[in-house]
Structure formats: C-alpha cells, structure tokens
Amino acid sequence: MLVAAFESWIDSITERGFDEAFLSLLRANGYYDVHFTHGAYENGRDVIAKLTENGRTIQCAFQNKAGDVSGAGWDRIFSQLYQLVRMPPGHPAFDPALPRRCLLVTTGRLVGKAPACAASFRRDMASQGVEFDVMDRERLIEHLEGTAAHETLGGGSRALVETIGAIVGGKVFGAQLERLFVRLVPSSPGTDAAAWRALLDNSICVRAFSQRNLPFHALTVLLNGIRVGACLGYASAELGQAVLREAMKSYSIVGRCLLKDFLEAPDDPKRWLELVGGGGASFVTYPSACLRVLELLGLSVLSFQEEGRQKDAAECAQLLRAVVEGQPGCAHPISDRYAGSLSCGLVALAASGFEETFRALLVDSTNWLCTRYESSDAGLASPYATVEEEVRTLLGAPFEGIELPQRRASLLAIVLADAAHTFAPDIYADVVNDFEAVGIIAQGLHAEDNASACQVGGTHTRPLLRIAYPATADEPLPHHALQRTPRTPERLVGPSACLALAALIGDRLFSDCYPRVSKGGRCAFAAVQ
C-alpha cells in the first residue's frame, strides 16, 4: 500500500506543482544547498544540489522528465543532457570546481535503445571527468523507502503507513484530519534529513488525497506541512525557517493546482456550484469551497508579499478580489471552523489596499453572522463540531423537530471585530454594536508562543471568554496585549505562517498579528496609499 502511494507520488513528481516535494526528497536523502533552477537560463538543469559521500563533496545537477524515455525520447532530450553535463548554470550556488554528478531523473524507465544510449553517454562523460547517471522509477522508490546507497535515514514512518491506510480506506473526515495528520509532525527531528522527511511524508499524503479527487482535504494537509515547519522552528530557527519557506511555497503552488478549476472561473457562481456538486447539499458545500479558496489566495498573497514577490502578490490579490466580489458564499461561513479561512481573506485584502472589497466582505459577513444568531439560539456550530453537527446547526434552525443546543459564542465574531479594529476603525463600533444587539459572545483561545500550541488540545493556551471589546477603535484590544511580540513562526517567515496555523487548527486565530500586517498603522489602506 505504501509503495503504491510512493508510485502515485512519483507519477506527479515532475509536474511543476510538485517540484517542491522533489526538493524535500533530496534533502531527506542527505542532499543540501538544494536549489530549483528550472527556467530560461537553466542550461538543462531543473535542480542543483550538493552531496557529501565518503568524505567527498559532489556538485549534483538534475534534469527531470516524466514517464518512460524511449530511444526517440532520448534523441529529443540529448541537447538538454549535453547542457546538463557540459555547461555550468549561472546560479551562484553551483560550484564548478567540485566533482560533478549529473543525473537524468525520470518517473518511468529507459526503454528501447535508450539504456544503450545512456550507457554510451555515461562512458563518454566519464572520459571527460564528469559522472552521469540515471535516477529512474526504481531508484526514486529506493530514495522514498530509505534504501538508497548513501541513505542514513529510514523510510516512511509508521505514522505515514497508518495515515495512507486511512486515506485509502476512506476513513478521514472533518476533525479526523487533525488527529491523523498531527502525528506527521516530528516532536524531535534529530537530523535535518529527518525534518525534510517529515515534509516529504506530508507531500505524499497530499498526493493521495488529490488522486482521490479530494482537493480540499489535500489543501488541509498542505497546511499541516506549514505546521511541520512551524514546530521545527522552536527546536532550530534555521531549519524551521527553511522548512517553513518550502512548505509555504508548496501550499501556494500545489494549492493553486488543486483548485485550478475554481480559479479559472473566479466570478462565476454557477460554475462553482457545478464543481461542488450542486443540488440541496450546495447550501453547505458551496460556501465551504468559497472560504477555502479565500484561505488559499489570502495566504498566497501574504506569503508573496513577505518574500518580496510583489508582482506575484498583486496578481494573486486581483484574483482574490475577483473571487470575493463574484462569489457571495465568501461572506457566508457555515461554522466557526471557517474563521481562520475568513481571516486569511480579510487580512490579505487589507494588506493589498483593496478597501472597498475588504469593507464589503467585512460588512456582509457581519450581517450574515448576526442574522444567524438572531434567527436561532443555536447560532453557528463550534470549531470542534463534527460535520454532522455543523450541518444540523446550519440547516436545522427552521425545523422545530430538530433539537439544537443554545450557543451564543462565536469565533467568527473575533475575526470580524479584530479586523475592523485594525483595518477599518471607522466601522468598528458598528460591528461590535451589531454583535451585542443579537447577543453574540466573542469567544476563542489565546495561544502562547510554544510548539504545543500548534495543535488542537495542546497545552500553552488560555480561554478568551466573553471578550470585552472597547467602545471605540482608539482603545487597544486587551487580548492583543497578551502577545505583544511576534511568535516564532511569524518571526521566521512572517504573519502568514500564524494565519495558516489558524486556518488549520480552527479554534484560535493569532489575530494579534493583524496590527503587524498593517505595517505600523491602524488602517492598512492609509499605509498602502
């Protein structure tokens, strides 16, 4: 079963959306100084890396291809292979003074005359002092299983085996995702290779869900990869930062591949209803999809901004705005489970200077929330609710025969009030007054700066009961004062890491990072202008 999962992952390894996972595979097998160099000036290389073997440091270069390579295929790629071994790339990390090993990576096998061509090419290059080799399907599986010749780390963990089993058996739903995937987070990685192996195992599970056409499950597992990096940051700042950056990139790149069909029609509700299945269930599935897309685009915008990729951030922000303006479900979160997703969208809109769209989403979401709590004593379900409880709370209010417990607490209220206080202070008092008018109690958890606070049920948290919001935005929020400095994940890569954790965990928001997103000013729009 695990080998089948490995093979499925290998089948996707050269798709651009999965390149980051290939980098993790190399790092998990002892390669370092790894760089993705695919582009106009790659000179035949997709990836470069170094490897220390028997006391000797080797400069490696990889050219990745999908599927089998036949004799005709070899002829087509020969010029790239020649560049691979003869022309050094312009990347500053490539050391031409080191012994060089060049590898053709294929997710299939060499067939036809290709094996003979490869052997001849290997001999020719060896006579010129350059080592050439082929990493085919079987050798990729050796690396995944931890049986490669230079491997010092074992293969997939027991947790990975059990997780793949649960995915294949179709036994993973709702809150079960949290209980299952938190086990892939290493409590103590021991080595750098073990840390990257944890991220790689996470990527294999992403692929398993993707193959079963469960893109939103896969998106949640991508968030778990960010948690892997965040928790590592508490043990080693340098390693945690590196893993966090790769996990954030993977979330954005792979996430957009997973939700490609949605992103191709950002302002077409009819198309999105078709994608989620339509019918009576769409009252639940459509807004859920809207909030998850909001989460993906919001985190991507913030991550791009933190990396200094302003063009990418601007393009993604435009797409985010189109989704919010075109999909009414974005303002209709069906339970507190989606508070973190809504937070990502709101903060990214504010950070991008889209004041009108930000205000519309904030006001519409506030109206939706107040209407739900005014029309039913049950309000909306908690972040700990099962899928059945979530749906029953959302749909059961009009029916007297369905008994629902009274619930006035709301995590979504914290998102909306805190976002208004930070980014739109002129409407903050209206938002808070609306909540008071319908009896909504803003309630959640404050998480301290500790790795155990990165999971449901972990320690180092305190309840935020009946948050007393000040009358005006001129007064600071008392619960923000509980964490005046950036937490470790935020310090390593930026606020996007904490917002990603909030979207994953579901019962805490890390909203004290909002003022830092606003870049020192109370109103982000004034700062952008």
Rounded CA-CA distance 174/389 in Å is 11
Rounded CA-CA distance 179/110 in Å is 42
pLDDT for 156:
59
* CATH number of the domain where residue 76 is located: 3.30.750
For residues 442 and 514, membership in a common domain is answered with yes
Residue 497 inside a domain? The answer is yes
For residues 141 and 117, membership in a common domain is answered with yes
Residue 451 inside a domain? The answer is yes
- The CA-based angle 425-431-436, given to 5 degrees, is 135
Surface-to-core class of residue 514, CB atoms within 10 Å of its CB (0-12 exposed, 13-18 middle, 19+ buried):
buried
Question: What values do phi and psi take at 332, rounded to 5?
Answer: -125, 60
For residues 170 and 146, membership in a common domain is answered with no
pLDDT for 9:
78
3-class SS string, 247-269: HHHHHHHHHHHHCHHHHCCCCCH
Q: H or E element: which one contains 410? A: strand 409-410
Residue with tokens 């991550």: 303
Q: Which among 346, 335, 326 has a CA at the least distance from the CA of 431?
A: 346
pLDDT for 148:
59
CA atoms within 13 A on the CB side of 201: 28
Rounded CA-CA distance 220/206 in Å is 9
Residue 142 inside a domain? The answer is yes
For residues 43 and 75, membership in a common domain is answered with yes
Instruction: Judge contact between 292 and 263, C-beta under 8 A.
Output: no
Residue with tokens 């089993």: 165
- CA separation (Å) from 256 to 17, 142, 150, 217, 263? 8, 30, 35, 14, 8
Q: How many domains would you assign to the chain?
A: 3
The residue from 217, 248, 279 where one domain ends is: 248
* Parallel/antiparallel/unpaired status of strands 47-53 and 32-36: antiparallel
- CA separation (Å) from 257 to 76, 84, 262, 263? 28, 28, 10, 9
Instruction: Residue 226: give the domain boundaries.
Output: 1-6+156-248
For residues 63 and 133, membership in a common domain is answered with yes
Residue 46 inside a domain? The answer is yes
Residue 65 inside a domain? The answer is yes
Q: Which residues contact 217 (CB under 8 A, 6 or more apart)?
A: 172, 177, 209
Per-residue tokens: 144? 């995944």
The residue from 248, 275, 294 where one domain ends is: 248
Residue 418 inside a domain? The answer is yes
Rounded CA-CA distance 494/307 in Å is 9
For residues 60 and 185, membership in a common domain is answered with no
pLDDT for 431:
98
pLDDT for 152:
45
Rounded CA-CA distance 326/314 in Å is 18
3-state secondary structure of 109: coil
Residue 53 inside a domain? The answer is yes
Q: At what angle do helices 310-326 and 355-375 cross, to 10 degrees?
A: 40
For residues 50 and 179, membership in a common domain is answered with no
Per-residue pLDDT of the chain (529 residues; tens, 9 = 90+): 777 787 777 777 765 556 777 888 898 888 999 988 765 444 456 899 999 998 999 999 998 888 899 999 999 999 888 888 877 667 888 898 999 899 999 989 999 999 999 999 999 999 988 899 999 998 888 888 766 554 444 555 678 888 888 888 887 777 788 888 999 998 777 788 888 989 999 998 998 899 889 999 999 999 999 999 999 999 999 999 999 999 999 999 999 999 999 999 999 999 999 999 867 788 899 999 999 999 999 999 999 999 999 999 999 999 999 999 999 999 999 999 999 999 999 999 999 999 999 999 999 999 999 999 999 889 999 999 988 888 888 887 555 555 667 899 999 999 999 999 999 999 999 999 999 999 999 999 999 999 999 999 889 999 999 999 999 999 999 999 999 999 999 999 999 999 999 999 999 999 999 999 986 433 344 333 3
For residues 137 and 172, membership in a common domain is answered with no
Q: Please give the single-letter amino acid code of residue 359.
A: R
Residue 256 inside a domain? The answer is no
The residue from 219, 248, 277 where one domain ends is: 248
Rounded CA-CA distance 316/362 in Å is 20
Rounded CA-CA distance 353/357 in Å is 9
Instruction: Judge contact between 91 and 72, C-beta under 8 A.
Output: no
Instruction: Judge contact between 18 and 203, C-beta under 8 A.
Output: yes
Beta carbons within 10 angstroms of residue 73's beta carbon: 19
Rounded CA-CA distance 468/524 in Å is 24
Question: What values do phi and psi take at 110, rounded to 5?
Answer: -80, 125
* Parallel/antiparallel/unpaired status of strands 131-135 and 100-106: parallel
DSSP 43: T
Rounded CA-CA distance 324/315 in Å is 15
For residues 72 and 144, membership in a common domain is answered with yes
Question: What values do phi and psi take at 119, rounded to 5?
Answer: -65, -45
For residues 402 and 491, membership in a common domain is answered with yes
For residues 191 and 56, membership in a common domain is answered with no
For residues 128 and 215, membership in a common domain is answered with no
